[in-house]
Amino acid sequence: MASLTDLTITQLGAALAKKETSAVEVADAHLAKLDEHRALNAFITETPEKARAMAAASDARRAKGEAGLLEGIPLAIKDLFCTEGVQTTAASHILEGFVPQYESTVTTNLWKSGAVMVGKTNLDEFAMGSSNMTSHFGGVENPWKRRGDNRKLVPGGSSGGSAAAVAAYMVPGSTGTDTGGSIRQPASFCGIVGLKPTYGRCSRWGVVAFASSLDQPGPFARTVEDTALLLQAMAGHDPKDSTSAPLALPDFVAAARNPDIKGLRVGIPREYRVDGTSPEIEALWTRGMEMLKAAGAVSVEVSLPHTKYALPAYYIVAPAECSSNLARYDGVRFGLRVPGKDLAEMYQNTRGAGFGKEVRRRIMIGTYVLSAGYYDAYYKKAQQIRSLIARDFNQAFEKCDVLLTPTAPTAAFAAGEKMDDPVTMYLNDMFTIPASMAGLPGISVPAGLDKDGLPLGLQLIGRAFDEETMLRAAAALEKAAAFASRPAGY
C-alpha cells in the first residue's frame, strides 16, 4: 500500500474498511506530517491528543460495525469554526485564548460521521484577505514554489492554512469558509479542489461571522469525489441557522462519481475576459472548455453584464456586515480585554489592540457606508446591484447548465508582492465574488501548471442548490485535466 498520507479520503476509507490499517495508525501518520511541515505555519492549534482519542473511538465503533461516512478520516478545521474545549481564534489577537463551550454544526456533523480532528488551521484575520498574510499568528507558506526560485509564496486566503495542509499531505481533507472566494482561490493557489456550496447548504451556526449574508462553509480535498464526500457529511438543514435551507440532501458522491456530461451546456461568460488576467490563465480557460467539449459538453457564450460591479458592491456589503458582526468583540464577553479608566476606554483599548489593520480598515468602511447620511448612496445601492447580479446569473442559466471561468486572475504570488495596495489584493477575487453575491455554488479544480510550475485552477459555477450538476462537470474536468503534479518535497 502507498504511504497512508498519500491516500485520498476515498482510498483511506477503503483501506480502513478492509482493516488494512486502523484510524489510530492513519491519525499517527498524518500527525507525523504536521510535525514534519510545521514551518508552513498551516496550523494555529494542533490537537494530537484529541486526534488519537477520536481515532481510538473510531476504531472501537468500526469494530462494532458502526462505521460512518468519514469513519477514521483525519481532518483539519479552519480556526473560524467553534470547537468545544479547543481554542478558536479566527486568527485574531482579540479572540486569543477563547475556548468555546459549544461545537459548530458543521464540525458536529463531521464528528458524527466518524472524522478525526488533527487541529485548527491558520487563516486571514476574521477571514478577511486573499493571502493569509493578515493572520495575527503569521502568514502561511504555500508548499508550492516557482521553479528555480526559492521565494516563499502565499497559499491564498482566507482559508490558506486549510488549503496548504491538504496540498502538503498533512491531511486528506479540511474545512474552509468562503465569503467572496476564500475556498476557491486558495484551492487554485495550492493545486487542490475547493468547493463553496450554495449559500444555505451548510449551517453557519458556530462559525465566527464575517459577512453573514455571504459566509458559507465548504470542503477542501485533493479530488472532486473527496470534496463531495466531505460536503455530504457537512451539509444539511439546521434549525439553529435561520438561513440554512430546509432541503433534503442529494447524493453528492454519486454525482461526483459520474463524469458523464454528454449534452451539458457549459456557459462561458463574456465579461470574465478582463484585463489583468494572465495570458496563461486565459489559455487554460480555453483548454478547459475544449476538454469539456471533448467529453460531450456544448459550449455557449453567455453574458453577465453586471460582473464589473460585483467587486465594488461586495466591498460595501461585506465590510458593512463585518462592522456590525464584529461589534460584539468589546472586551467583555470573549477573549482579550485591555483595561481603561472607564468602560468606553476599555472598549477602545481592547478593540484598538485586538484587531489588525485590515480588520480595522473594514470596520471603518462598513461603519461609514451604514451611517445615516451614506446608507442610501452606498449600502442600499450595493444591495440593488446584488439583485442585478443574481438576475444576470438566472438569465444565463436559462441558456446553460453550468458556467466555466478561471478561479483567480493569477497563480500564487510571493509574500510581499501585491501587499502595498489593498485594492490590488481585492482584485484576487474578481472571478469568485459574483457567484458569492448571488449565493451560487462554485468549485475550483486544478487544471494545469503555469510556466513557473505553479498550479492554476478553473472554476465551475452551478445553479442554486444544484451542486450535483456542478460536481458532474467538475469530475469530467478533473478526469480530462488529469492534474497529477505535487509540490516538490511533499
What residues line the site for ligand GLN (CB under 6 A)?
127-130, 158, 178-182, 210, 318, 429
How far, in Å, CA of 433 to CA of 74, rounded? 30
User: Judged by CB, which is closer to ligand GLN: 88, or 350?
Assistant: 88
User: Judged by CB, which is closer to ligand GLN: 22, or 107?
Assistant: 107
The amino acid present at 155, given as its one-letter code, is P
Enumerate the active-site residues. Answer: 78, 158, 182
Helix segments in 219-356, DSSP class H: 224-234, 252-256, 279-294, 307-325, 343-354
Write down the least CB distance from residue 308 to ligand GLN, Å: 17
Do the beta carbons of residue 286 and residue 293 sit within 8 Å?
no
Which residue spans within 61-206 are E strands per DSSP? 74-78, 116-121, 173-178, 193-196
How far, in Å, CA of 86 to CA of 89, rounded? 10
User: Torsion angle, CA of 250/8/280/481, rounded to 10 degrees?
Assistant: -70
Instruction: State the DSSP code for 272.
Output: G
User: Judged by CB, which is closer to ligand GLN: 4, or 326?
Assistant: 326
Q: What angle do CA 167, 172, 175 make, to 5 degrees?
A: 85
How far, in Å, CA of 229 to CA of 27, rounded? 19
Write down the least CB distance from residue 320 to ligand GLN, Å: 12
CA-based torsion, 4, 5, 7, 8: positive or negative: positive
Do the beta carbons of residue 234 and residue 271 sit within 8 Å?
no
User: Judged by CB, which is closer to ligand GLN: 143, or 181?
Assistant: 181
Write down the least CB distance from residue 196 to ligand GLN, Å: 8
How far, in Å, CA of 438 to CA of 435, rounded? 5
Bridge partner list, 117: 75
User: Judged by CB, which is closer to ligand GLN: 293, or 361?
Assistant: 361
User: Judged by CB, which is closer to ligand GLN: 15, or 133?
Assistant: 133
